[in-house]
Structure 1
Amino acid sequence: MSKYTSFPEPGDDHNPFQDPAVTQHSSNTEYATLDLYNPFDNKNGPPPPAYAATAPSAPQPVVPATTPPNRTTPTEPRNYGTSFTPQTAVNATTAELLRKQEELEKKARELERRERELDSHALGPGATRQNNWPPLPTFCPVGPCFYQDINMEISQSFQHTVSIMYYYWMFTACTLAFNLISCLSLFCVEPSGGVGLGLAILWVLLFTPCSFVCWYRPVYKAFRSDSSFNFFAFFFIFFVQVIFYVIMTIGIPGWGFSGWIVSLAALKTSVPVGVIMMLNAILFTAQAAMGVVLLKRVHSLYRQTGASFVKAQAEFATGVMSNQAVRQAAANATASAAQGAFTGAAR
């Protein structure tokens, strides 16, 4: 079968490299071989035509593809500098708006004050508004003593504080009235408490009107006209009043106050009376605590109004000299002194 094919039999010792096709190709110098051509040796000249045809062409420069930046989700924040940023512009605008708002509020308060002054001057020098407090019925022989209108006379920024002071005065009046009931119940079970009952009647008749006139009206007029003198009068009188409230809370026996000491002692005599007096002691405690808080609140507002002790002195001097009774008394004293000096010189 070997005569029909060019492949040797398996048993034949045949060298594949001695094949005529291979030896003929290796003897042809037109094809490059590893033995004939060294690409790193420039002395041999250009490569043979066969190698030059098969040699790879020079690589083209690779241009990196530019990918558009991701504008929706940047990998790192861009720094535009610290000289001007949107946040800086917002802060500057906010500060400017706050400053303008403060100026407008000051102008509004000034306009309200001038409006109140114009309203008071429009009534004339001798005319006054009709008194409306206390609200007494028409058949009562005694009429109202004061004119009070918080919404009209007090600036809007101070109306809440003045209203709280008014309600606080009403609370103190009701507490003193309840103190009278407590002392009366103690007197019913213990006749030796008559002195306390008498003093309780005195306190409710004395403190109720005096507190309204001595510290509520000064704070009302202080916020109405920014009066430094009324502010100082309120601070002095209300501080003394708070000290009395603390004494009421303690409840010294025989002073007419249903405080803690008297209430705890009344529990031994009568439990219902002791409970009533303890409720009164709780009211006295709340009254004293609220007094301290309101004193601090009014003092903080006083610092915002621009009042001072020098202005208080000037207002006091002006008020004294503008009083008709004081001027008449001073004129009479001056005339008497001049007459006495003239009479002594004549003798």
Structure 2
Amino acid sequence: MSKYTSFPEPMEDQNPFQDPAVTQHSSNTGYATLDLYNPFDNTTRPPPPYEATSPSAPSVPAQTPPSRTTPTEHRNYGSYASQTAVNATTADLLKKQEELEKKAQELERRERELQAHGLGPGASRQNNWPPLPSFCPVGPCFYQDISVEITQRFQQTVTMMYYFWMFCTGTMLYNLLSSVAMFCVKTSEGVGLGLAILWALLFTPCSFVCWYRPVYKAFRSDSSFNFFVFFFIFFAQVGVFVIMTIGIPGWGFSGWIVSLAALKTSVPVGAIMIINAILFTAQTAMGIVMLKKIHSLYRQTDASFQKAQAEFTTEVMSNQAVRQAAANAATSAAQGAFTAPR
């Protein structure tokens, strides 16, 4: 086959550099390479002759592939602590913003309700508590509307305190009933009956004025002064609840000691007084729970002792009776100083 073509057989070992088209160019050609010829040389001598060099494989420097961040790889934008601090600060700001928005919505709701009732934003309403009949010569003393004056966040707590005050009132009336029953079977318990009447007449209005109204006004206007008044008086009230539950003889309270002793005199009367002791126990437990609950809510508000002092000073100085008394005292002192003998 090779005699008809100029191409060698595939199996023949042929050197491509021995091809006549390559070997006819000898190594002593008369032209120079770019490595030896300098076109900027001013000499007029001819370019140097071409010199063949031994072929060598060019060295290719190893290239390191650039590092790339894959989509799933986290980039390090800072330390973990700094990122945590930034996230915590952002969460606090968002929480405060939500609280401010809720307060703004609540104020708008109150203003709409006041306008719906024909009153302006700063107008006051007529007293509606206690709900007395129209023919009664004494009118209501307070205005109370939990759904309007108390924010939605604290409405449940204030409502529970109102029901707790009603429960305490009912317990004192039942204590009066059990004392009457005890007096019927044992006339020597007249002192206990008299004290039971006194406690029922005294604790019912005083508890409403001294600790329910302060907590109502504290949640209504976020008043630090009313919070402190409530904590001081209600803590003493819880102590009185404990004394009621114990039932010291002769104190007018049908507690456990008096109730268990009454069983020896009369079983029915003793059973009535034991129910009263159970009510006193429940009253004490509920009082402790509500005190802790309101204290935890107080810590979440902006109330403080410094604000309580400022509110007390403002309220005292804005009271017309106090200002008049202070003016009269100053006038009397000035007159006494001028008329004093020298």
Which of residues 247, 259, 264 is equivalent to 1:263?
Answer: 259
Which of residues 70, 81, 92 is equivalent to 2:73?
Answer: 81
Within a 5 Å distance, the mapping from 1:20-35 to structure 2 comes to none
- CA drift at 1:106: 2.5
- CA drift at 1:105: 3.3
In the superposition, the TM-score normalised over structure 2's length comes to 0.70
Q: 99-108 or 323-332, which moves further after superposition?
A: 99-108
- CA drift at 1:81: 3.4
Residues 315 and 111 of structure 1: CA distance in aligned 2, closer, same or farther (over 3 Å): farther
- Aligned positions, number: 260
Name the residue aligned to 1:48. Answer: none
Which of residues 245, 251, 255 is equivalent to 2:247?
Answer: 251
For the 8 Å contact 1:133–1:145, the answer to whether it is kept is yes
CA distance in 1, matches of 2:312, 2:256: 42
Q: CA RMSD in A?
A: 2.9
Name the residue aligned to 1:211. Answer: 207
CA distance in 2, matches of 1:180, 1:310: 43
For the 8 Å contact 1:182–1:276, the answer to whether it is kept is yes
Residues 114 and 338 of structure 1: CA distance in aligned 2, closer, same or farther (over 3 Å): farther
What's the CA shift string for 1:207-233, capped at 9, x where partnerless?
A: 000000000000000000010000000
Name the residue aligned to 2:176. Answer: 180
* Residue segments in structure 1 that go unaligned for 5+ positions in a row: 1-78, 85-91
For the 8 Å contact 2:146–2:158, the answer to whether it is kept is yes
In the superposition, the TM-score normalised over structure 1's length comes to 0.69
Name the residue aligned to 1:273. Answer: 269
SS at match of 2:340: helix
- CA drift at 1:83: 5.2
Is 1:112 paired with 2:111? no
For the 8 Å contact 1:134–1:145, the answer to whether it is kept is yes
For the 8 Å contact 1:218–1:234, the answer to whether it is kept is yes
Is 1:294 paired with 2:290? yes
Residues 281 and 256 of structure 1: CA distance in aligned 2, closer, same or farther (over 3 Å): same
Within a 5 Å distance, the mapping from 1:195-344 to structure 2 comes to 195-344=191-340
CA distance in 1, matches of 2:261, 2:321: 53
For the 8 Å contact 1:113–1:225, the answer to whether it is kept is no
For the 8 Å contact 2:111–2:121, the answer to whether it is kept is no
Residues 344 and 96 of structure 1: CA distance in aligned 2, closer, same or farther (over 3 Å): closer
CA distance in 2, matches of 1:114, 1:331: 41
- CA drift at 1:116: 5.3
